[in-house]
Amino acid sequence: MSALSLVITDGIAEIGLDDGKANALSQSMIEALLDALEQAAQADAAVLLHGRPGMFSGGYDRKLIDAGGPARDAMREAGDRLTVALLDFPAPLVIASTGHAMAKAAFLLLLADYRFGSAGPFKISLNEVAIGMTMPDVAMHLARERIPTAWLSRCALQAEMLDPAQAVEAGFLDELCPPDQLIERARSKVKALAVLDRRAYRETRRLLNAPLREAIGQSLGD
């Protein structure tokens, strides 16, 4: 059974992550996500991305992070391509954070147009420093752009663990929902965004993201 599902119906692409565990963003998971986003873009579909109940994603595969070497570097390079793909996506992008969202997964939240969070005992954190990882340049550009100044040090430097209500204040989430209502509420939102004029949405999204996209492109040598 695949850890990623993709269903495209009536102009909406629903991408679900469920590996039965932490939904780790391994290189294979990221490549599958990139392929799903490409299929959605080819279909001119708005996207809803979600995890499984209780877990959006634990971020990069921790075993590869700890091991280092070429496999870790390839995973992080794929992660950078995912960041660019989400920034450049030509249609509405909504994420339903179905539970915990750690490290790279929390950064994915910052890349969406609208973010729902599941109310409950969940944690959202940029925990890179806590696990001995210096924050990459691309990640810092994103953090500075999307996290309010009052929360930036607490999140990016101090690796503070946030509950869902704090995650709303810190800019990771827009809205909290009871877990049993989360996916339907997110589906309603992505449908509402999908009926907006697509050309205007695409071009305005590009303009909105342009400064961040340029900074990230410079860091990646684009």
Question: What pLDDT is attached to residue 78?
Answer: 96
Q: Which pTM does this prediction carry? A: 0.96
Mean residue pLDDT across the chain: 95
Coil/strand/helix, residue 100: strand
pLDDT beyond 50 at 1: no
Q: Please list the helix, strand and coil fractions of the chain in percent, rounded to the nearest 5, in that order.
A: 50, 20, 30
What mean pLDDT do residues 41-67 have? Answer: 94
CA distances from 144 to 93, 135, 141, 147, 201 (A): 21, 12, 5, 6, 24
What mean pLDDT do residues 39-66 have? Answer: 94
Confidence of residue 68 (pLDDT cuts 50, 70, 90): confident
- What percent of the chain has a predicted confidence (pLDDT) above 90? 91
- The Cα–Cα gap between 112 and 20 comes to 24
Q: Could you give the domains of the chain?
A: 4-220 (3.90.226.10)
Per residue in 2-42, pLDDT (tens digit) is 799 999 999 999 999 999 999 999 999 999 999 999 999 99
What mean pLDDT do residues 138-144 have? Answer: 96
Question: What pLDDT is attached to residue 108?
Answer: 98
What mean pLDDT do residues 130-157 have? Answer: 95
Q: Which of 14-23, 34-43, 64-73, 85-94 has the lowest mean pLDDT?
A: 64-73
CB atoms within 10 A of CB 80: 17
Question: What pLDDT is attached to residue 201?
Answer: 98
- What percent of the chain has a predicted confidence (pLDDT) above 70? 99
